[in-house]
């Protein structure tokens, strides 16, 4: 086994299910000790902890609402305290509010910004205090940052587009310190929130995706693992899309 992340300390926000859980397991499989946050479903969080421990790595599940800035900072601090530091931060927590402009509430807008944008900034600001050269920050964005081909996705697309600007700006701030920061932008991925076996999925596969299938969480986790590893040391300020040609 090629343990490219041996002795690395990782925090993944939103790591109890879906893409986040796959990232936790993949990074642990490559040798990292991993803390992750979850907002609910402690049973799923415990399942992820058990999976990581079976790999012989440390795992810490931290209950934290990413809409609460103080909880995000506390999660970083606990990671540093219990793992002895932090080398890699993966901002995976996200929310999706869909609807036409006439029906979207201001609370939908505020929560989307709080979780999808502000929490990324807050976690990054807290983590870089402890990161040295070789640190990695990876955000889970969305291909919708560049293309929103159907109605109702305005504030979600806006929040993911904001990450592109944030990453480009922070790449300049963090580059001299040897820390990289990038976005991974998944397209349609088979998760419990967006299952492959639905009418919506059938529509996307028929009309929008060049490769007429959904992606898998493991495919996204593989791209994250690349950015977290030594081979991506010259990649920063980038938004890398993994969408089966959705944006082609």
List the catalytic residues: 156
Cβ–Cβ < 8 Å for 126, 119: no
Instruction: Name the token pair of 224.
Output: 């994250």
Signed CA dihedral, 94, 25, 50, 31: sign only: negative
Terminal-residue alpha carbon distance, the chain: 35
Q: Cα(181)–Cα(183) distance, rounded to whole angstroms?
A: 7
Q: What are the helix and strand counts (H, E) for the chain?
A: 8, 7
Signed CA dihedral, 77, 79, 82, 83: sign only: negative
Q: Name the nearest CA neighbour of 35 among 169, 23, 43.
A: 23
């Amino acid at each position: 086994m090629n343990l490219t992340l041996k002795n690395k300390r990782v925090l993944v926000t939103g790591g109890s299910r879906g893409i986040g859980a796959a990232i936790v397991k993949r990074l642990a499989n490559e040798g990292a000790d991993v803390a992750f946050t979850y907002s609910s479903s402690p049973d799923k969080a415990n399942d992820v902890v058990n999976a990581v421990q079976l790999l012989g790595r440390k795992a810490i599940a931290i209950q934290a609402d990413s809409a609460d800035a103080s909880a995000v900072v506390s999660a970083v601090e606990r990671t540093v305290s219990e793992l002895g530091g932090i080398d890699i931060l993966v901002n995976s927590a996200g929310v999706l509010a869909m609807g036409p402009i006439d029906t979207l509430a201001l609370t939908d807008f505020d929560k989307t910004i709080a979780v999808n944008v502000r929490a990324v900034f807050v976690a990054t600001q807290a983590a870089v205090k402890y990161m040295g050269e070789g640190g990695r920050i990876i955000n889970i964005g969305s291909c919708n940052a560049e293309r929103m081909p159907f109605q109702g996705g305005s504030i979600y697309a806006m929040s993911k587009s904001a990450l592109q600007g944030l990453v480009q700006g922070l790449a300049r701030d963090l580059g001299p310190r040897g820390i990289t920061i990038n976005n991974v932008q998944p397209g349609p991925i088979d998760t419990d929130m967006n299952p492959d076996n639905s009418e919506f999925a059938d529509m996307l596969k028929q009309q929008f995706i060049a490769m007429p299938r959904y992606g898998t969480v493991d495919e996204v986790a593989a791209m994250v693992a690349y950015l977290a590893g030594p081979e991506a040391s010259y990649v920063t300020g980038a938004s890398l899309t993994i969408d089966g040609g959705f944006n082609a």
